[in-house]
């Protein structure tokens, strides 16, 4: 049986690139999405190995339960999880942020990964009859920089992801589960448009030592390395993929 990976927020960007690369590496892939069914199904069509698209809002517990139960039935027991689903809101100072925005940010970017990890652990843990596994959380370089004047709430949520990664790695090591994170920098995805500035990378290019934005495939390669046996002695690691910023 092939290994089974769930990639959350996988209909586009880093999640889509990760799903495609995981399939190339032999995984059966669950492409999770919230709204864009067509894009998720297009990713599944591009995958020649076994793959399914499953709608679920990972910040909602009942959706997460249904996501994992669907994978159990259609692909088998999950052995790898990529907590990629995340949101950003329009650039704003904190004093102008509505409570609803902050709560939604934390629900998707922090609660979601914890709920998905909980369900993955129930299936992966050697204490519970699983064969172990690997989890990669997608954080952000914003967790180090704070994103003042733009996305302090987003940066704070990703700081929580970093802390979660360290704690989970220590908690789950004896269960045969490795937990690591990748911190992307400025990557060419739709997230910048969602924040109200589609050309943000161009504006900030000179602040990146490599003088360019990253491609989703470059982040996917980092994620797949951490999932692989090549990273067998790495847990609790946070890998920066930020072009040196």
Angstrom distance (rounded) from CA 174 to CA 149? 41
Cα-Cα end-to-end distance for the chain: 41
Beta-strand pair 177-184/28-33:
unpaired
Angstrom distance (rounded) from CA 86 to CA 90? 14
Burial 173-201 (b: 16+ CB within 10 A, else e): eebebbbbbbbbbbbebebbeebeeeebb
Q: Which residue has the tokens 């998905």?
A: 116
Beta-strand pair 80-83/133-138:
parallel
Query: What residues are labeled active site?
Result: 154
């Amino acid at each position: 049986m092939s290994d089974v990976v769930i990639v959350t927020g996988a209909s586009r960007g880093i999640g889509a690139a990760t799903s495609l690369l995981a399939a190339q590496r032999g995984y059966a892939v669950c492409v999770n999405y919230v709204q864009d069914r067509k894009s998720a199904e297009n990713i599944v069509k591009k995958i020649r190995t076994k793959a399914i698209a499953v709608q679920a809002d990972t910040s909602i517990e009942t959706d997460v339960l249904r996501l994992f139960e669907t994978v159990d039935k259609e692909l088998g027991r999950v052995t790898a999880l990529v907590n990629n689903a995340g949101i950003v809101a329009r650039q704003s100072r904190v004093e102008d942020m509505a409570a609803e925005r902050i709560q939604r940010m934390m629900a998707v970017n922090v609660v979601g990964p914890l709920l998905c990890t909980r369900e993955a652990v129930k299936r992966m843990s050697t204490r519970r009859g699983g064969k172990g596994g690997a989890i990669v959380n997608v954080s952000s370089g914003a967790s180090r920089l704070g994103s003042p004047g733009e996305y302090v709430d987003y940066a704070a949520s990703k700081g929580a992801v970093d802390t979660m990664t360290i704690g989970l790695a220590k908690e789950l090591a004896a269960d045969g589960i490795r937990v690591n994170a990748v911190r992307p920098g400025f990557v060419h995805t739709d997230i910048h448009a969602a924040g109200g500035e589609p050309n943000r990378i161009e504006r900030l290019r000179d602040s990146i030592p490599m003088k360019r934005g990253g491609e989703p495939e470059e982040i996917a390669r980092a994620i797949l390395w951490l999932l692989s046996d090549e990273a067998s002695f790495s847990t609790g690691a946070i890998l920066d993929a930020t072009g040196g910023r």
